[in-house]
Structures are given as C-alpha cells and as structure tokens.
Structure 1
Amino acid sequence: MTSARSEWLDTALSYPQTSMTVWAPSMSAMYGDRAAVVDGDRVLSYRELDEKSAQFAGALSAAGVVEHDVVLMHLGNCADFHVAYYGALRVGAAVTLVNPLQPQPGLRRQIEETGAVAAVTQSQQFDTLLGASADTAIRLIAVVSDDSVEAGAVDTMQFDTVQFDELLARHSTEFEPAQVSGDDVAHIAYTGGTTGISKGVRVLHRNVVGNVTQMCGWRAGYQTVVNDGLVSLEKIEGLDIAGVVPGEGATIVVSPLFHAHALINTSFLLACGLTQVLAGRFDPARMLELIETHHASYITGSPAMWHALATHPDVATRDLSTVRVVSSGAAPIDHVTLEALGVAFPNATIAEGYGLTEGTCVVTAMPLVRGLGYRIGSVGLPVFDTQIEIRPQGDTTATVGPNERGELWIRGPQVTDGYLGHPEITAEQYVDGWLATGDIAYRDDDGYLFIADRAKDMLIYKGYNVYPRELEEILVTHPSVSTAAVVGRDVGATGQEPVAFVVPLAGADVDEDELMAYVAERVLPYKKIRDVVVLDALPTSAAGKILKTDLRAQLA
C-alpha cells in the first residue's frame, strides 16, 4: 500500500445538513454569469438557471404542488430538463425520471405507482403522455415546445396544459427553497430493468447530496459546505488530484439525464462549475468536434460509446489535449477499449467506476490522486466514507478473502431508502444499513474492486460457475470482433451453456467455428462458447447497458 493511497483512503468528508432544494441558487452564487448549459445555439448561465428554476418552482406552487408531491420528468436531454429538475426540487417535490420513449403502458404504470401530480414533457412525446395520464393524479402538463399546446381529444378538464416558456413567464425569478429534510425523497429513480421488471428506488435528499459531495471530493478534491443556507466548495488539504478544476472547463453530455449516471454527474459537475454541453444523439464525429470546440476537460459515458469514439478516424485530426478525465460507467469496460481511450486522450486519466441506482449512482471509482497506478480491469476503490464487503453467495453472515468471488455488499451515505411499493424485496436487499448489489465481485490484495458479473447473469454449467464477463473480455480481443455479449442457454439438467452474440468490426467477417475455437484455447473446458450469433448491433438501454433479457428472448 503506497502512502498516497493510505492518505486517500484515510480522508473522511463531512456531509452538509441540507437538501437539493438549494442547489440552483447555490450554483448561481458561486458561478454567476458563467455558462452552465449549452444546448445547440442556446446558452443558459448559472444565474439564468437559478432564475428559471425559481419560475418553475413558482408555477408548480401556483398549481398546488407541495412538498412530497411527485413531478414526472418526461424529457430527453435539453436545457429545460435542468430548469424543470432543479425547479421541482426547489418546491420540495420529488422527481421521477422516465425515458421519453417509454411506451404508453409502462409510462402509465410509473405515473400510477408514483402518484405524480405534474409532468414536464416535449412536443414529440406529448400525445403519449396525454394518453398515459388520463384518469391519474396528474393535473399540470408543461410542454417544452416552440408552439402553444392543446390537450386534443383528451378531457381538457383534467389537465392544465401549457407551453413551458409561457408557464415560466407568469412567475417571479425569485422563489424561496422549500423546507424539506435530508430524509425526504428527492428522486423516485427506476432501475434499468435489464434483468427483470423495473422498480422505483426511493432516493433521499441526503443520498443525492451525499453522493455529489463524495464526487466533489473524489474527482476535484473539494468539500461541500453550507454558508448562510447555500452550498459552496472548500479545498481539501493534502489531496493532490489530477482531476476537475472548479470553475474551469466543460463536459460533453451524451448519456440520458433521466438515468442516474448522467443526472448525478451533472449535479456534481455543475457544482464544480463545468459547462454542460448537450450533444444530442450520440455521433462520434460530432462529439469529437464538441470536445475540441468547447475545450472539454471531463467527459463521461458508457463502454459502448467509448469504443465508437476511441476508434473513430477523426481522433487523429482533432485536438483532444484539454481532456483531463475520461470517466466510464453504466457497465464494465473491456480492456481493448480502455487501451484505445488512452491513445485517443493522451493527457487524460481514464477512470473507470462502478455504481447502481440503489446506490444513488457512484460506489467505487478509480482515484485521480497522483502517485497511484492504474489497475487494468478494476473499477477502483470505494469512494469516501463507503464500505464494501464481498460475501459468499447465499451466506450474508460471512465474508471472503482477497481474490475470492462473492456477492458485493455496500454501505455508505449514498445507499438509498429501498423500493417503492416492494417491501419484501427491500427487506431482502437492504439489511442493517447494507445493500446487496446482486453483482459478483472480488477485491485484490490492495483492496481494488473488480466486477466479475451480475449474479443473475452468472451461468452454472455441469455444476461449475461460468462468468459471462470473462468470456466477453476474450471475445473482444479477436481481430474480427467489435463488441460481444454472452448469455446462457438452458440445456436441461446440465444447466446453462454459454452462447456468444457478437458484432463484427467494420469490413470484417466472423467465422463462428473459428471464434469458438479461439475462446476454447483460452478457457477451461466447461467455459467454452457453445454457439455464436452474429448481429449488426447489440441491443442496449438508453444508459448504454446491454439488454441481455432481449438476447435471452432471442435464444428462446
């Protein structure tokens, strides 16, 4: 253990007794007229974000929205997402986030489960929201649109439907933040649903403030503090971090803001004064252009995105020297992509991390402190004030030793309050302050964490445990394979045999038999790939996670 690592792990933070209701005015006080959000030609300063969020809070209050009500965020990435998000929190409401492409039945289920009373949407998905909201508790729908809006054939007596900017214009640019406690719900965040039915997670204000505080310390070396009711930053002495410099640089936002990974990163980076440049639909050439144009210093995304970006030919012609941190989350990153990123961004630290909705967002991350070496394949160390244990599957009373696999359990200020409407599942996964993540992991001798697989993704073949992640790492080293995913196919009493879904590199042909032989040469016999399916693209969620449920359904 190096002294730098000891000093890093010995650091403990204090967590301000405040809520996310004060976030917008706090950021305005720190950064004023600095650009907060760039959305195409639209630029929103920190002061304007504060003022517009106050207007939206006033609009919600006038509509009868009070503390502990729920506001539905039915938006893609846009500047008004930030306005609505911080405005809803400011009035004391909880926000529930939803993919705007969610079909009407799933959208209605979320509205009913959360009891949402107001919603913000966009014109392109307005009709879907109207249909899903009929005969629910929703009474106000604000539509981000350049045109006035009408409720059409839906009973207009139920809804007050209004264009978002028109709604803001009716209200003052000042609004006193509501008085809610850290134990009140800030988000009802739905899980990705990659292994089953999506569930609403109760994320408390203290969880969000806590996780943002952890990231400000971990990525920038600053502590959040409260002065006169507002949050500000203070330098943590003794940490030499090659990361975010508050009040400088920008980040390019591609990941959907309705997902915890992007949302918590946004609040952390805005708290540090980085300009959020919204990139729209991911296009590697466009993103590389934005990085160069806006002198981006911090970029975050998923492995599928990084693979496309790092291997794009424009990498050789763009000036990417301003990038200091490349942060990867949402899913494990393969080492081939990791190495390509190092070449594409020579001045950046590649910082893989791990998190989950039930842990607000970030649980572990690669440190940015100088003097620590990178651990290939590791998702780093537990962020400040976070404990992790690796416990044998099926036995919550014991822990395993270094380099032994088991289920990952976590405890810290970011561990959320459980599942909405699922007390039995909550009791199973949230035990004495600890959260069972459902992920198979191990720690090396120095405490660095490695994610082996999802517990639900692990296969048992002839009595042996087979971890798809290990096989996927091998598959992507083949010269004809771009990306890969492995799932199990039922074979009766034998268990499940591994089947690979692969996407070829551009211009390459995959020989299925040769590829199976390639893997077989590198694994124990019971781990061999038994079949290969070639696809044009792997199915992924909006957050970049591979939808293995879809692949299993294809096998079935």
Structure 2
Amino acid sequence: MPSAWPPGLPRTLEYPEVGAGAIAVGAANRWGERPAFVRGGEVLTFAELGSRAARFARGLRAGGVRPGDRVALRMANCLEFPVAYYGTLLAGATFVPVNPLLPEPVAAAQIADADAVRTIVAADVARICDGHGDAPIPPPADGLAHLAYTGGTTGESKGVCLPHRNVVVNSLQYACWASGSLPDTDADGGLTLDQVGSPDEWVTPLGEARVVNLTPWFHAMGTIAGLNVLLLTGTTSHLLDRLDPMAYLADAERLGITSIGGAPALFAALLATPGIAERDLSSVRLINSGAAPMPVEMIERLRALCPEAVIAEGYGLTEVTMGATMSPTHRSGLHKPGSVGLPLFDTEVRTMALDGSGETAPGERGEVWIRGPQVMTGYHGRPDATADVLADGWLRTGDVGVIDADGYLSIVDRLKDMLLYKGYNVYPRELEELLAAHPDVAAGAVVGRPDPSVGELPVAFVVPARAGVREADLMAEVNQHVVAYKRLREVRFVESIPVSAAGKVLKRELRSRLG
C-alpha cells in the first residue's frame, strides 16, 4: 500500500542547537575530499570548502565585521559563493543575498535597506581569505542568519528575517525528508545526518548523489535546497553558468546524475529540447520541483522520460525560510499529480475561507496558512507589513489552496492573481493548466485586464510551439473546457514568458503590457 508519511521517520525531529555554519563544518568532516562543487575544470572539495570558509570568516573579522553585522553577497553561482556564504555565517554576520542581475539603483536600495556593512563580490573572496588560519570556528547559533529579500513577483520586495534556528530547521526538514534520515552532530559540533530509512525506499545513499545545479544561490530555494541540503547529504553539484538545455542534458547523461531539481521553467526548457527522448537518464532517481506548481501534463511527460524516478513537488516561500510541504520522496510513497505534498516535520498547514468565516473543510479552497519553526520572525523594518501576515505564529501566505482528505495540499493560485469577473472568482492556474496541455503551446500565463463593466477579463500570454498557430483558434479550443465566466477573452503571442531568477512568472510585468 502506498504510504504518505516517510516510513521509519517520526513526525517531529530533534534539531541540534547549532548555528547554520555547522552545516559546512559537518560536511567538511564527513565528506572530506569528495567534490562538493565542480565548475568547468575547477573542483572545490568539502574539506576545502570548510577550510576556506573558516579563513573567510577570520578575514571578515579582521576587516572589522562584528557579530550581527549584515554582509551582502552580490554574485552569481560560482565556487566563491559557498565560501563567502558559510564564512559569513561562521563569522556571526548575517547573510544578505543580492541578485547580481539587479539594476544598480535597485541593488543599492536593497543593500541600504538591509543596513549592510560590506558588499562582497566574487573577486573579493580570495583576498579576504588570504593570510588567515583555517582551524574550525565554533558556529554562532544566535541572531539572524539570513536577511533574504522576497522576489517581488507581485509587489515590492521585503527583507525577511531568518534566525539561525530557522535555517538549520528548514535545511534539516528537507534533507531528512529527501534521504530518509535523522539529524545528528559530530565531535566538532558539525551538523550531519543519520540515514535510517530503508535503502529500498531511498535508493541513493548519503554521499553518492550527483546533480547539475542551475538554481540561483541568492534565492531561498537555492540557498537551502541548492546549498545546505546538498552539503548535508554529501551531494556533488556540477555548476552551469546559464540554462543551456543541450549542455544540461549532455552533462546529466555523462555524469549519471541521480536527481534533477529546479523550477517548472527548467523542466519546460528540457522537455522542449530536440532529441530529449533519446537521452539516457536512467540514473535519475528523484525529480523535485519548487517555486511554482508544475502542470499535470508536465509531470506525465517527466514520468515517461524517467520511469525510475520519484517525482516530488514542494511548496514554500521566503517567509518560511524556503519551504513547508513536500511530496513523498520514498519509492512506495503516495503520489498525487498536481499536489505539492504534505506538511513537513513539525509543520502545520491549513486553509482559511476567503470570506473570513474560518477554516475550510477538506476539498474546499481557502488561503494557505502555515505554522512551524521555519516561519520568519518578521519583515525587516516593516512592523505593519509583518502584522498583516503573522498572527499567533501563523503565516498568511497569500496563496489559495486546497487540502484533501489525506492532508495533501494543492496550490490553486495567488490571491493577488485571482480575477473577479462579475463577482465570480476566476483562477488563472486553471486556464494555464489547459494551455500547458495544448500541443501548440510551449509556455503560457494568464493575467487579468481591468474592465469597468465586469471587473477583470482573463488574458493569456502564450509562446506558440510551432508556426501557423492562430490566437483565435487557440482561445476557442481552451474555452470549450471551461464555464462561460472563466473563458479567455484574449490571447497574445509572445517570444517568451518573463520569469524571476527563481523561475516564477513575473505577472506584474505581463499586466504592465496590457496598457
């Protein structure tokens, strides 16, 4: 019988009282000379990462950085990034991730808002490390580990305050869930894992996983899943500078990668690559997705491509450090396409009626609320915004979801993306699922165009999959599957759908094109 909860794992975990820097210490001690990160011909082993992070921490302190100071890291994924990230944490400073692609005024405003005392780019890292010892540093466990800014996909970006405990907890929640493990520490106070789950359920032992990584480390999903979880599980990560689907698939085949992780935009690009069906991806045992829900049609295509892989979706947001739910990753798990899984260890998820009448029944739509040890302490310098979303430990996410009788969560849409047409709620994701399933659509997104007579009209932006497709024909074919008030009123063909660095569709940009 398929099971929902990971067999052999408890509902609650014992989280060691250590700082987030203990992740690097534990990985260096346990995995030693195993490659942690590979970029081109360069290799950074787990042991080298631990020693360089310690030198970087001492370099920051020698340069006047004190515990609690904010240090901004403004760099793309490179071998210097993890050194600077873990070094910042070991120094007792707060990591402030900054997207290197942000326009200069926007980046400067974010750095100023964070009260950062230093801004570090990749070229600075070797100089800061130079001349300092690499003996292990006791990882501070107090204060803020991250001051991470929201993606701003629906509005203004805000700084999210995440203490060390949040980062440790959320990293362990996902690492243990994905590998069938329990938290542990070593003699140096380094954070590590004890893999207690059956190898028949979790077929990749700790210290043997290999991935190709494109998830940006300046984003919550990248920092937690693309750095911390990989160190905890002893995973070797091969870095690509940009999304080149052909190069990605060639590396995946050559390296025999064991899992593929990313946002739906990555999977869409891979599935659209000519000849993908001929690629040997038999080594892949886990496909995990986050940042936005995957269309059901995409899940079915991935399952056909990698029949031995477990496909698992997760759900979260920066305000919960990274995430709150995950589909089962064990092989006998109960998997439900279209669902983002169950609440993780020590996490509660409920849906609240949009009219304020209380908690909804199973199967009814409502706003997703989350409570758990990974929930932020608040927005930096914004008490009013904090009060708007936090109440009695619960975070109001602004997402609309459904929880079924088994406790599985499905995300329907963002509250801010929901349209009102003559008083009816119209959820763009329902239309986007229909577009994703259409053979003539490579990508699509739906937003509302204000109309004084009815409220809002659904408009689809579509990347056609072939030449000769007509907007009117596509709209008619989609509309035959929905009731009248949900119908598309316009289809616009575009060359690409704008997405954030994390792979989320930038609907505010699409709305700006409506005029």
Tell me the TM-score range normalised by the shorter chain.
over 0.9
Matched, 1:541 2:500: yes
Could you say if the C-alpha distance between residues 47 and 509 of structure 1 is closer, same or farther in structure 2, counting changes exceeding 3 Å? Answer: same
In structure 1, the partner of 2:120 is: 120
Structure-2 separation of matches of 1:292 and 1:6: 29
In structure 1, the partner of 2:37 is: 37
Cα offset for 1:225? 1.6
- Give the secondary structure class of the aligned counterpart of 1:375: coil
Matched, 1:530 2:451: no
In structure 1, the partner of 2:432 is: 472
Structure-1 separation of matches of 2:198 and 2:262: 29
Matched, 1:294 2:255: yes
Q: Give TM-score scaled by structure 2 length.
A: 0.96
Are the counterparts in 2 of residues 481 and 510 from structure 1 also a CA contact under 8 Å?
Answer: no
Are the counterparts in 2 of residues 38 and 44 from structure 1 also a CA contact under 8 Å?
Answer: yes
Cα offset for 1:497? 0.9
In structure 2, the partner of 1:70 is: 70
Matched, 1:343 2:304: yes
Are the counterparts in 2 of residues 217 and 236 from structure 1 also a CA contact under 8 Å?
Answer: no
Structure-1 separation of matches of 2:391 and 2:54: 39
Cα offset for 1:24? 1.6
Matched, 1:193 2:128: no
Structure-1 separation of matches of 2:267 and 2:419: 28
Cα offset for 1:3? 5.6
In structure 1, the partner of 2:295 is: 334
In structure 1, the partner of 2:60 is: 60
Residue 393 of structure 1: which of 354, 363, 367 is its match?
354
Paired amino acid for 2:292 = A
Task: Tell me how large the CA RMSD over aligned residues is.
Answer: 1.8
Paired amino acid for 1:21 = G
In structure 2, the partner of 1:16 is: 16
Could you say if the C-alpha distance between residues 384 and 420 of structure 1 is closer, same or farther in structure 2, counting changes exceeding 3 Å? Answer: same
- For structure 2, the 5+ residue unaligned runs are none
Q: Deviations over 1:71-96 (max 9, x none)?
A: 10100010110100000001000110
Q: Deviations over 1:287-312 (max 9, x none)?
A: 11111222211221111110111232
- Give the secondary structure class of the aligned counterpart of 2:416: coil
Matched, 1:221 2:192: no
In structure 2, the partner of 1:380 is: 341
Q: Deviations over 1:9-28 (max 9, x none)?
A: 85321111111122222111
In structure 2, the partner of 1:155 is: none
In structure 1, the partner of 2:25 is: 25
Q: Deviations over 1:518-537 (max 9, x none)?
A: 12210010000001110010
Structure-1 separation of matches of 2:275 and 2:264: 19
Could you say if the C-alpha distance between residues 543 and 2 of structure 1 is closer, same or farther in structure 2, counting changes exceeding 3 Å? Answer: closer
Structure-1 separation of matches of 2:391 and 2:95: 26
Structure-2 separation of matches of 1:217 and 1:259: 21
In structure 2, the partner of 1:460 is: 420
Structure-2 separation of matches of 1:508 and 1:208: 47
- Give the secondary structure class of the aligned counterpart of 1:529: coil
Residue 397 of structure 2: which of 420, 434, 437 is its match?
437
Are the counterparts in 1 of residues 20 and 141 from structure 2 also a CA contact under 8 Å?
Answer: no
Matched, 1:275 2:250: no
Cα offset for 1:174? 2.0
Cα offset for 1:372? 2.7
Are the counterparts in 2 of residues 67 and 178 from structure 1 also a CA contact under 8 Å?
Answer: no
In structure 2, the partner of 1:405 is: 365
Paired amino acid for 2:268 = H
Structure-2 separation of matches of 1:218 and 1:49: 25
| Identity level (%) | 44
- For structure 1, the 5+ residue unaligned runs are 123-143, 145-162
Q: Deviations over 1:382-423 (max 9, x none)?
A: 11111101001242x720011100100011121111111110
Are the counterparts in 2 of residues 510 and 534 from structure 1 also a CA contact under 8 Å?
Answer: no
In structure 2, the partner of 1:448 is: 408
Alignment of 1:179-258 (within 5 A): 179-181=140-142, 184-228=143-187, 229-236=189-196, 241-242=201-202, 244-258=204-218
Structure-2 separation of matches of 1:62 and 1:111: 22
Structure-2 separation of matches of 1:252 and 1:287: 7
Q: Give TM-score scaled by structure 1 length.
A: 0.89
Cα offset for 1:455? 0.5
Are the counterparts in 1 of residues 292 and 503 from structure 2 also a CA contact under 8 Å?
Answer: yes
Residue 169 of structure 1: which of 130, 134, 143 is its match?
130
Are the counterparts in 2 of residues 55 and 175 from structure 1 also a CA contact under 8 Å?
Answer: no
Are the counterparts in 1 of residues 202 and 330 from structure 2 also a CA contact under 8 Å?
Answer: yes
Are the counterparts in 1 of residues 12 and 345 from structure 2 also a CA contact under 8 Å?
Answer: yes
Cα offset for 1:167? 3.0
Paired amino acid for 2:493 = V
Cα offset for 1:443? 1.1
Are the counterparts in 2 of residues 244 and 297 from structure 1 also a CA contact under 8 Å?
Answer: yes
Structure-1 separation of matches of 2:81 and 2:203: 27
Structure-2 separation of matches of 1:6 and 1:301: 22
Could you say if the C-alpha distance between residues 4 and 523 of structure 1 is closer, same or farther in structure 2, counting changes exceeding 3 Å? Answer: closer
- Give the secondary structure class of the aligned counterpart of 1:49: helix
Are the counterparts in 2 of residues 243 and 368 from structure 1 also a CA contact under 8 Å?
Answer: no
- By relative contact order (CA 8 Å, sep 6+), the higher-ranking structure is 2
In structure 2, the partner of 1:147 is: none
In structure 2, the partner of 1:90 is: 90
Cα offset for 1:464? 0.2
Structure-2 separation of matches of 1:541 and 1:256: 10
Structure-1 separation of matches of 2:138 and 2:469: 58
